[in-house]
Structure 1
């Protein structure tokens, strides 16, 4: 498993606890052992990041009572029960109460590992979904993903906060890989519909008949509601709006008109037709285009975002380094200049791919960022680069990145940063103030 999953093992027999723990540890699990249900309940609570394996028959609080207590705290917590010979009826009752599964002694260790892996995967999905709902609920998390201190990104965040509170439908456009779907989530998350459904579909992923049925019905027996009904009161996000067929355009316009004003369901349309010969105004009927473009957000290409490029590369580099268990690459002044000057035809998506490959190269001790950029840009559509910038801008962007990375590595230790960068305290303080870097952010 990519990330270590916890398993709480509860059994009054020490040998059984140890054998289960050792076997699961060999399979990559992080185990925690408890001799009683009472002891386990002190540590295992709602949102426990793992799986519980518990014996049914134990002195004091038994496994069935423990199961009820755990599921009352978190009904999605996977609990695997261990039963003795002849306790199968009790195990069936445990399944009825909500246990994930049961193992009958003596059990096959491989079956136990397989059960724990499946339960762990289910738990991970549950916790990820909870985190996403929380993130979308208050808008803070999804807004933090819009990384960058450039003026253009500051304006974008301000626009999102303003438009998120508005009632009109929104059109989002911009080059591929600029983060249009993320902005759609952010608009929903910071607005009054944040607690309602966010329903998303790509108009380019289906043929006309299937897309029309999914959007407006009928969707077929047992297939749920059409998406315009599923999203009612919330947000309906239509990606690749330029691919919406004429018949579906007419149905969508009718749906919008029937809602009146303010709209009960907000439409966020995402346009990926940014080529000069494929203007959205030419691909949608005019009355629908002007309804969808009541409010409009255009995302900036990465090559126009200046020092944000270095901040993004550093952030994703550290993320991948942690995932692969190695050090993030240290960027030289020359490589920083190459990153800032690259055309980035694939925008942020391309940068993420290069950051991951740079981390893998660094782990092997070979390759360069320049070679990755050259190979990537040769294989991509050409992009128009912006005009050159003064040398001072490149130097300042690299200087900010260097101080930021060093503060991060030393966890805010001013003395360690002064020694590594050979800077006197006053100079370091002045540069941190100049670049808006706060020591408290690194502690």
Structure 2
């Protein structure tokens, strides 16, 4: 293995002789091995993030190789699993590949072919773990990324997209409804990209006339040499807020500059609202410029599509405002939680934050309710289920998560007090916290 850190090969087979012979050959080939006589025994060691690969027989008692593979793919879909199959079981092996197996070996197999497959699998695992570590470092190492709260699938995909697009370095168009956090996402894209150490310069396009936009963007010298924000953001990132408001003369000049491609132009991130059809960037910008600034596209999910993120964010906002105003955060009833989840939130996260602040202020006065705020908000319709109504199970789980989160926060992670208040045994509380991604250390 050329002196590099050896990856572990977990060998799973119910036959002792087979385990020993495979292990001996792989050790002689430079690998580190560990053997298990059953899939259940292996699962005690092979967890998500396992620093190695799995080589398993298909025909085993209790849990066979196919069931084992499905369990492993559920734990860690990037874990390379190589299955050993008997003669005539090739269709089963093909099905295993469809499920997620890395490769398969048919008995009797050539030891050199096994070595070749294991070498490729280890290389793939090493790359996957390196990429995962990089993503984790980027996701937790920038203020902008840590502010992108939420555990919904939509937000998980958004964070992944930010990491991918942030490192791609092409011009980006961010699209989404008002209040979805487009500016925050733009800053996150800059923070995780190769230009993070260079300036991020923002131009609020909607605030200026066409002539003023040109002056702000290119400078006041009147010639065709880039100046203004383009020079200030040179080799960094230029953020165009409300890019659909760019005037025709500014569009023409910007396109001319982009066509020079002098190698030190800033990366352009354009923000456009998708709420008003007639004001979308593809309608208001000339096509040649639109295609230049939208090489990469990122659409932000509206709050109503983010499930119980609504309650996660509401908890976060009320806790923050309660600290700011020196009072307790309001308690949310089951009915109010359902109403928060049912509201259409046309103003998205920004609107939710406003409601959370007003809820804290009225709670400090000892009056009002979250229901009254939603009714008075005019933009929200809290009582009647919308056509996008969710199954009861989703509402129950969202409320349960919020209740545990609030109780843990109130008792600062004191598990015994939380168990007592919620009448839950320790094991049940631990299982529910794991289910909802809650960690005690977050509350200490």
TM-score scaled to structure 2, two decimals? 0.65
Alpha-carbon distance change, 247 to 186 in structure 1, aligned in 2, over 3 angstroms: same
Q: Does 1:239 align with 2:241?
A: yes
Say if 1:271 and 1:280, in contact at 8 Å, map to a contact too. Answer: yes
Task: Kindly indicate whether the alpha-carbon contact (under 8 Å) linking 1:345 and 1:377 is maintained by their aligned counterparts in 2.
Answer: no
Residues 1:279 and 2:280 aligned together: yes
Counterparts in 2 of 1:144-159, with a 5 A limit? Answer: 144-159=146-161
Task: Indicate if the aligned counterparts of 1:138 and 1:189 stay in contact, CA closer than 8 A.
Answer: no
Structure 1 residues 379 and 339 mapped into 2: Cα distance closer, same or farther (>3 Å)? closer
2:390 aligned partner:
389
> Counterparts of 1:219 and 1:273 in 2: how far apart (Å)?
35
1:366, 1:442 → 2: CA distance?
A: 28
CA distance in 2, matches of 1:386, 1:246: 41
Which segment drifts farther, 172-181 or 136-145? Answer: 136-145
Q: How many residues align?
A: 302
Match 1:171 to one of 173, 176, 181:
173
Structure 2 counterparts to residues 6-405 of structure 1, below 5 A? 140-218=142-220, 226-259=228-261, 264-378=265-379, 387-405=388-406
Cα distance in 2 for residues equivalent to 1:170 and 1:274 = 19
SS, match of residue 200 in structure 1: strand
Unaligned runs of 5+ in 1: 1-135
C-alpha deviation, 1:195, in angstroms: 0.8
User: CA shift at 1:377, angstroms?
Assistant: 3.1
Would you say the 8 A contact 2:211–2:250 is kept in 1?
no
Q: Secondary structure at the match of 2:235?
A: coil
CA gap 1:213/1:385 in 2 versus in 1, 3 angstroms: farther
TM norm structure 1: 0.65
Q: Distance in 1 between matches of 2:374 and 2:260?
A: 50
Partner of 1:16: none
**Is the CA contact (8 Å cut-off) linking 2:238 and 2:267 kept in structure 1?**
yes
Cα pair distance change 1:385/1:197, threshold 3 Å: farther
Deviates more, 1:138-147 or 1:415-424: 138-147
Partner secondary structure for residue 338 of structure 1: helix
1:412–1:240 Cα change, 3 Å: same
Matches of 1:278 and 1:227, distance apart in 2: 24
Distance of aligned partners of 1:175 and 1:187 in 2 relative to their CA distance in 1, 3 Å threshold: same
What displacement does 1:368 show? 1.1
CA–CA distance in structure 2, aligned partners of residues 377 and 147 of structure 1: 26
Q: State the Cα distance separating 1:263 from its structure 2 match.
A: 6.3
Offset from partner CA, 1:343-381 (integer Å, 9 cap, x none): 10100000111100000000001111111112223489x
C-alpha change, 1:153 and 1:379, in structure 2 (3 Å) is closer
- Listed as ranges, the matches of 1:402-421 within 5 Å are 402-421=403-422
Determine the structure 2 residue equivalent to 1:108.
none
Q: 1:35 matched to which residue of 2?
A: none
CA deviation map 1:221-253 (0-9, x unaligned): xxx951110000100000111110011001111
CA–CA separation in structure 2 for the residues paired with 1:183 and 1:393:
27
Contact 2:374 2:380 (C-alpha < 8 Å) held by counterparts: no
CA shift digits 1:366-422 (9 cap, x unpaired)? 111111112223489xxx956111000000000011111111111211110000101
Alpha-carbon distance change, 253 to 142 in structure 1, aligned in 2, over 3 angstroms: same
Separation in structure 1 between the aligned mates of residue 202 and residue 325 of structure 2, nearest angstrom: 31
Gaps of 5+ in 2: 1-137
CA distance in 1, matches of 2:140, 2:426: 39
Structure 2 partner of 1:115: none
Give how far 1:439 is off: 1.7
Tell me the distance in 2 between the aligned counterparts of 1:362 and 1:210: 46
How far does the alpha carbon of each residue in 1:141-182 deviate from its partner, in whole angstroms, 9 at most, with x for none?
Answer: 110100000000000000001111012100001000000000
Aligned-CA RMSD value: 2.3
